[in-house]
Chains A and B, each alone.
Chain A
Amino acid sequence: MAAEYLPVLPLILLVAGGLVILLLEPFTAPARKSRMGQIAVLSTFTAAYSLSFFWNAPERELFHGMLAVDRFGIFFQWLFLVITGICALISLRFNERENMNRGEYYALLLFACSGMVLMAASADLILTFLGIEILSIATYILAGFKRADLRSNESALKYFILGSFATAFLLYGIALLYGSTGSTNYRAIQEALAARLSMPGPALAGLGLLLVGFGFKLATVPFHAWAPDVYEGAPSPVTAFMLVGPKAAGFAALIRVLIQAVPILANDWRSVLWLVAILTMTLGNTVAVRQTNIKRMLAYSAIAQAGYLLVGIVAHNPAGQAAVAFYLMVYTLMNLGAMSVVLSLSRQGDARVHLEDYAGLARSAPVPAAALSLFLISLAGIPLTGGFIGKFYLFGAALSEGFIGLVVIAVLNSVLSVYYYFRVMVYMYMREPADTQEPPATIPAPVMAVILIAAAGILVLGVFPGPAMNLAAGSALALK
């Protein structure tokens, strides 16, 4: 029995951390609420540490085929735990400044993380659904955590309504798949489809609805419209979390469903996702060109990046899945790093997030400006950064399967993206600062640490990517 519960130790630690925060919250003086954040950071890092014991453990399924213990799950759980820990870290000062320093914030972050952990480890549609819901509900509240701010309210409401809508699609898809195969377990679904015991019509319809639901969660075209508004309105650390966490978790869950449950329908979902990938990256990049708000620009860039990631899924080979895992690692560092710079330069009320506010930044804040440039260069996919290796890996996987057209469109998109990523550098390095010379922002030590670690990570992944690529490849092999 204990053996069943040991591999879910990270989950237990996360939930326990969240509950402890909720319990302690009423007894903590307002000035010491940051302790709650420290508890959150601590519980994510212990959870991540506890996971490392299972990397070499034999693959198995727990709780009657509900939960898989394999390298794919562990890789993504690590990623989510790091994301959550970093988001808690960069929230500390921000929440004090914005008067939203309440313990519930960190508890919600931990609960959201537990949802993501479930998504990565799930071997059953029901559990996947539960994970998505736990994650989503926590994120709805986080997006609206600045109760007095109208934009934050709008963001939360929009996210909630559209998210619930997507949930319904997801659930209906699950119901149809269950109806046609008689199970919600991935392996059982795969076997039922392989044995042709199922009715192909409802199974295909179910898959289609599932893809719609995932499309909403991943903000892929044509279900992307909520993303920019939600990202713009949410408090910056929450935006950082939403840019990376739910997206990475969505990709992990999507890969598991597609590879483990419905590989037989690969020809169908490949052609759909092929088109979705092209539309997503093209639209994301085209619209990002016109943005003047950094948070909105990063939102559209994230949409475009989701398009690149789909290329790896369309490839439908171990290299493609490994590339998605690797790219999500890089993606996390790039976006968390960039958002950390953005929020550390912002002012009370999330002000100063326009491109004009970045004019002459290289003079007033050289280190954040250099770091942000590195993140943007990496997002654009220029060599010696992780972003280049990631794209190389993704596009290479698709090319080895003969998707030349898709890859050519993807690289042309990268050219387009260079324009808006480099434009931020134009403001930072090639424009004079505005007349109203504000005192330079003081960057809290934890945020600075996050920025520097992310920058170092991007460079390491770009110059010596071998170990990380092998880690990602190892995780992808577990899907077989």
Chain B
Amino acid sequence: MIFTDLEFLYFYVGLFVLYWAIRNKTAQNVLLLIGSYVFYGWVHPWFCLLIAGSTVTDFVCGLKIKSSSHHKRWLVISLVVNLGLLGVFKYFNFFIDNVYELLAGVGIHANRMTLRIFLPVGISFYTFQTLSYTIDIYKGKLGPRKSFLDFSVFVAFFPQLVAGPIERASRLLPQVESRRRFNPEQFMEAWPLLIFGYFKKLVIADNISIYVDKIFMLESPTLLLLIAGTLGFALQIFADFSAYTDIARACSKMLGFELMENFKSPYLAISPSDFWRRWHISLSSWIRDYLYIPLGGSRVAGNLKFFYVVMTTMTLAGLWHGASWHFVIWGMYHGLLLFCYHKLGFGGKWEPKKLYTRIAAWAIMFGFTNIGWLLFRTPNMAWLAKAVSNGGGLRPDDFSMLASIEILAMAGFFWMWTAVMYSMKSGPKWHKPLHAVVYGILLVMCIIFYRQQGGDFIYFQF
């Protein structure tokens, strides 16, 4: 089930009414657990077996890490099971294909053994979430939970199950364990998030994607079309992914839960470090805490070691997004950016003092971010190499030039709407009735632009 299905509306309204009618915490958690499994297994019920397996493993491992004398052994079991699930379902075919190509390159033609595996949605999200639980127990930051029910709800909590935010046990588990009361203020706070979320997905992301997808299917796009496609994709991926987070947060709020913020105006970043503090915050902070710091990233002094740590971290972050070389290269590209900025003295929490320096830093970083998106969105590297080499398409009589301008103008229009929404978010200057009018317009636009055969959220595939 996805947030844009009509079925989700019925499912959520039913669950919401029952949930607040029950009031008993344990019964509410049972309902949430059943609801979460229904939500997750709606199309493919066998997905539930995977998440149940992961839940049982990490629950047992959590208890054993604390009580057994072989702490490390139980942590390793948790790591092997979770990363094993990811390895089999997400990376197996990628690995086999590359080994096959490598062998073929040296003249050995092995039998290709490719599994017909259907990638379960959200597997990268919930495996990271459960991993954080066992690692935190091992590090002594968190105590193991004794209630299997509470732990199962933490793993399968449906609003954030398939595309995050990747919540930490220390933040979400206490909310699952505590008694929840209906809070009208929290309920009302959810509505702007809900309306913004659906507007960003249904009106912005699903509409600009029509043209972006076409550009990235052209046999030989001109440079200007490539620029239009990249800027359009920058808008699409932000609108799409942040929409999911907004809707997830709104649905959680209505049930008395608070999920973390995942985006903080990422395109206003002035450096790569700043960008990763603003973009997909739950993933970047996970990678920082469980990969970058353990590898020694926070204390290395030597250039070579630092380069190794940053590149390893970001390459794996790229690979997390998908089993494909262009994601790996995208991760490496960001690793390289982080390293270069750091060495030039613009790393960490660098803040330019003068306005024009800030504007220049923003413009440069925005450019770099978009080059990154080009690597991210390209169907494959061969296509990109061909497209980039075909840079002479700026002929004034060319239809493609006008098409590019039209797509850019449309993207500009949607960017303007995004800016209006974000100015409402941060500016107390707007009069409240005006807010109401804008919400009304956004809601009506959502109803008009809702498509039954609309696209999935981009981050589902990761």
Whether A associates with B in a native complex is no
Q: State the A residues within 8 Å of B (CB).
A: none
